[in-house]
Structure 1
């Protein structure tokens, strides 16, 4: 969006020309007829009042038939002006040319009116002043002076021309009071009227210039206000933070685009609806928090677009008061869901770093005694005098030793920094291989569907590690649907283009899903909801995905269960590739 400008060109008239000149000319077409009618009528009344009797008044009215003709002519020419004006071609010069034409024509009309209404004794010279006034309005100061010069020339021509008119014409004008003026009358009338015309031109020029400057300032201010309003609208609309405004009755009056996208509602759907009925979680959080404009943002959990669950940080402020009435409140909020996920991932990595330091030392401390115990139990099992009850107990001990050894192995695999063997791989082929193996498992009650997205599904990954990720997610989905079984959907997709493109795998099931309160903990080591679970399967998945520079999210699936989505960059970060485990840790794994 462009910054506000100090000045802007006026809008172009649809018929061409100045945006101010066109409506003024159109107003002049109507105003001319009205002004001539009123002024001439007033003049007739004035001259009638100056007559000495009815007979003289009747003679006067009959003698003024040319003036009536002027009135009719003005009406007709105004109509003609309108027709010609509407049919002239477009262009900047058209209104200006037409204005000059009207000024000249009106000057001739007034001159004729003076000629048939008494010459120097006429009451109509002031009409020249009106011509100067509207010339200044139409054409600014220069137009006022040019029109004053024209009117002065026409007025002088009328008065001095009476001296040169043939005798028959002068006799025909005598009934109207027109006669040849004396030199004193000529000098006086010329001086007074011409002086008045140029004084009026100067005044009109000054006022027109002031009007023009004021108009430009107002136009600039209007443009500035319009652009500021547009800028404000664009800023509010394109903010990544959501904005909701409510009035003093708690009714929604505005949602910006970010709020609509986060909450899955648009303004037309919720306008003037109570906030409590449309977004109850937000309403409760706002009521509990009060005005938060001056302190840290509280957080709330809401249901977002598409059934997602969002963590929002928000603040509430009053919109102020107008006329002693509260105008309502504004709620500004940001989606902190991804930030919270990153925070949780960083916390898990911090815990992992601490665990890794202990892993090497506890490996020998636990595995070596386990090996000794296991060997001793095996020797006891080979004794000839072992009774059945002792044999059963030794089998239990051996089974638990094996389970504990496997748990330690999983723990060491999770805690050590793995080396990634990065190579170009086809995710679609990789997923098909894992699914083929998964479907051969015994007691496999699940129906598995594969959806392959469009586009290039290749990425540089550690294929074995990503297979481990998919395997763990499939086992997790199958366990979630036991014992009845259900439907597992695996989707491979690509998102974005260029350097920010990602490939992803989504595993959805039709099980009971993952409660919202557990979603932040399911990737934590040793967190499990199964009696026989180690709590390391999803933790290992999160670890491998993190090493690839990717992300994993959990949400509700369309089928009602859980949906785990893994997104991997097409090219993993260089620092993630070929990470070697410390020597002590590799030794402890043996």
Structure 2
């Protein structure tokens, strides 16, 4: 069965273009008919039966053709102007055939194209209906001429034209269906390709690896966000690689010349991280090159993450084996200290043994903290009260001696959403570090826990009055295993910041005159969670 077109034809660009050419063809038909009516018709075809009828039909058809072109250009749907236009074509063909029977065959052939073109835009039933109307029109005109003056045209010719109208309408209708399906498929594929191109562009633009497209003359054609960040202010924004990054341009030219790449990291700007460049051709025989800039700091952090993950798995299995002999050594040292036969010098050695056992146990606890990282269970906590309780608990577990630990707050109550166990651990690390490093030589430590709110975000500052932290050391404070003390593990601040991030907060070092400040930033209260003030 013939497939039926179910959806109306929308005035899209492709079909409207075909309708425009169809309108031009109709104007050409009207112009030929006007030439027939007002030209030297006797020379061309001989005497015309009804010159007045042909002239009037030609003038009306020419005006209708112009109006149909305008209608088809402005109409939202193409079906109405196409259907009305083919009806006018049929009527004009019948009248022109009756007025000038000498060119009846030519007019019937020209109408054949009109019927076929109309079926290209219309559903099958309307297309076949137009073909039937065209056949009925030329057959009616034949009967009209036979009754009026008599006609010698054979009936077989009328039947052949009618069959041609039906066949051509069917074929062009199927062609129109396939054409619309192809255009719809092409539009979908084009939209998919455009979306894919946008996705690819977004991926490249947001890649952490810098990507540059450099042509044969050394001009930077494209650069993603990471590359622009790594290039910084080098070259004052100029788009020539040799000016923007001379060393990178030299390495690229060396790679183009002999295919060898220098794999040593380089610094593109005085305030930029080191990058590791990699080169590739855009196409096999293309002179354009892709330059990939890998930030070595990202690579280092990835290596640290892999190292910490491996260390966590290893420490979980090793902790039991370390703790058992460690506990035995510590217990044996305690027993020896209770003996009355131990000399004073030996007792001092036993104290050193116990101190080192405590230190080793602390190292094991810190490393285990990486392995058994627990998820945060945030609660609504009143920070002022929590900090007061923390000071009391810390002072009872860690005698302060001459050191001072106090609270400062502008508001008597401040709510935050945080896991209290995690916050307790973060404060313990920061206060212990402040007691160790935040004191001036020969003076006690002065530590203040300031509870505050900054732009709606609650937080706690741990301040000391020590010598401060040098700039070179401050940049590496939160790196794992970095420490300036021979007794430290370098994991305290790293774990503290990780716990703050697990609570959707942050931990940062703030430079302040006359000491140091570590700021804990916490999320504010959530309306869906109950508040806990105790």
Name the TM-score class by shorter chain.
0.5 to 0.7
Distance 1:130 1:19, change over 3 A: same
In the alignment, the residues of structure 2 paired with residue 31 and residue 515 of structure 1 have an alpha-carbon distance, to the nearest angstrom, of 84
Cα distance, 1:195 vs structure 2 = 1.0
Partner of residue 430 from structure 2, selected from 452, 461, 470? 470
1:36 aligns with 2:38: no
Cα distance, 1:115 vs structure 2 = 2.1
Aligned partner of 1:246 in structure 2 is 213
Aligned partner of 2:56 in structure 1 is 69
Aligned partner of 1:220 in structure 2 is 185
Contact kept in structure 1, 2:460 and 2:521, CA below 8 Å:
yes
Contact kept in structure 1, 2:477 and 2:493, CA below 8 Å:
no
Aligned partner of 1:137 in structure 2 is 120
1:456 aligns with 2:416: yes
Contact kept in structure 2, 1:251 and 1:273, CA below 8 Å:
yes
Cα distance, 1:459 vs structure 2 = 1.5
Distance 1:287 1:33, change over 3 A: closer
Contact kept in structure 2, 1:549 and 1:568, CA below 8 Å:
no
Aligned partner of 1:585 in structure 2 is none
In the alignment, the residues of structure 2 paired with residue 557 and residue 272 of structure 1 have an alpha-carbon distance, to the nearest angstrom, of 36
Partner of residue 364 from structure 2, selected from 415, 419, 423? 415
1:102 aligns with 2:85: yes
Distance 1:192 1:289, change over 3 A: same
Aligned partner of 1:584 in structure 2 is none
Q: Deviations over 1:40-81 (max 9, x none)?
A: 437876745448xxxxx9xx7998454443332123324554
Cα distance, 1:462 vs structure 2 = 6.8
In the alignment, the residues of structure 2 paired with residue 482 and residue 43 of structure 1 have an alpha-carbon distance, to the nearest angstrom, of 121
Partner of residue 150 from structure 2, selected from 167, 174, 181? 181
1:205 aligns with 2:170: yes
Unaligned runs of 5+ in 1: 1-8, 52-56, 166-179, 292-297, 380-396, 495-502, 571-590
Distance 1:72 1:273, change over 3 A: same
Contact kept in structure 2, 1:414 and 1:543, CA below 8 Å:
no
Cα distance, 1:273 vs structure 2 = 3.8
In the alignment, the residues of structure 1 paired with residue 137 and residue 519 of structure 2 have an alpha-carbon distance, to the nearest angstrom, of 91
Cα distance, 1:104 vs structure 2 = 1.5
Partner of residue 536 from structure 1, selected from 488, 497, 511? 488
In the alignment, the residues of structure 2 paired with residue 366 and residue 279 of structure 1 have an alpha-carbon distance, to the nearest angstrom, of 63
Distance 1:564 1:407, change over 3 A: farther
1:160 aligns with 2:127: no
The 5 Å alignment of 1:554-565 reads 557=510
Contact kept in structure 2, 1:245 and 1:330, CA below 8 Å:
yes
Distance 1:407 1:452, change over 3 A: farther
Distance 1:562 1:126, change over 3 A: farther
Aligned partner of 1:588 in structure 2 is none
Q: Deviations over 1:110-131 (max 9, x none)?
A: 2112222246767533332232
Q: Deviations over 1:419-477 (max 9, x none)?
A: 99x99765554446668999x99799xx9999999863342417764442120243466
Distance 1:428 1:35, change over 3 A: farther
Distance 1:131 1:477, change over 3 A: farther
TM-score normalised by L of structure 1: 0.57
Contact kept in structure 2, 1:493 and 1:504, CA below 8 Å:
yes
Distance 1:193 1:464, change over 3 A: closer
DSSP-derived class of the 1:456 partner: strand
Unaligned runs of 5+ in 2: 1-5, 257-262, 525-534
DSSP-derived class of the 2:122 partner: helix
Contact kept in structure 2, 1:428 and 1:457, CA below 8 Å:
no
In the alignment, the residues of structure 2 paired with residue 371 and residue 303 of structure 1 have an alpha-carbon distance, to the nearest angstrom, of 65
DSSP-derived class of the 2:481 partner: coil
Aligned partner of 1:342 in structure 2 is 305
Distance 1:449 1:247, change over 3 A: farther
Cα distance, 1:35 vs structure 2 = 3.1
Cα distance, 1:566 vs structure 2 = 7.3
Cα distance, 1:106 vs structure 2 = 1.8
In the alignment, the residues of structure 2 paired with residue 102 and residue 363 of structure 1 have an alpha-carbon distance, to the nearest angstrom, of 105
In the alignment, the residues of structure 2 paired with residue 464 and residue 255 of structure 1 have an alpha-carbon distance, to the nearest angstrom, of 43
Contact kept in structure 1, 2:94 and 2:137, CA below 8 Å:
yes
Contact kept in structure 2, 1:247 and 1:253, CA below 8 Å:
yes
1:513 aligns with 2:471: yes
Cα distance, 1:209 vs structure 2 = 1.8
The 5 Å alignment of 1:170-569 reads 180-182=149-151, 185-187=152-154, 190-199=155-164, 201-203=166-168, 205-231=170-196, 233-234=198-199, 237=202, 241-242=207-208, 244-248=211-215, 249=218, 251=220, 253-255=222-224, 259=226, 263=229, 273=239, 317-321=280-284, 324-329=285-290, 331=292, 335-336=298-299, 339-346=302-309, 353=319, 356=323, 359-360=326-327, 363=330, 409-415=358-364, 429-431=385-387, 456-461=416-421, 465-475=425-435, 478=438, 511-515=469-473, 523=481, 527-528=483-484, 533-536=485-488, 538-540=490-492, 557=510
In the alignment, the residues of structure 1 paired with residue 365 and residue 44 of structure 2 have an alpha-carbon distance, to the nearest angstrom, of 120
In the alignment, the residues of structure 2 paired with residue 512 and residue 255 of structure 1 have an alpha-carbon distance, to the nearest angstrom, of 35
1:150 aligns with 2:133: yes
TM-score normalised by L of structure 2: 0.62
Distance 1:550 1:105, change over 3 A: closer
Q: Deviations over 1:83-125 (max 9, x none)?
A: 777898x6xxx64344222212221112112222246767533
Aligned partner of 1:176 in structure 2 is none
Larger Cα Rg: Structure 1 or Structure 2?
1
Distance 1:196 1:462, change over 3 A: closer
Contact kept in structure 2, 1:407 and 1:534, CA below 8 Å:
no
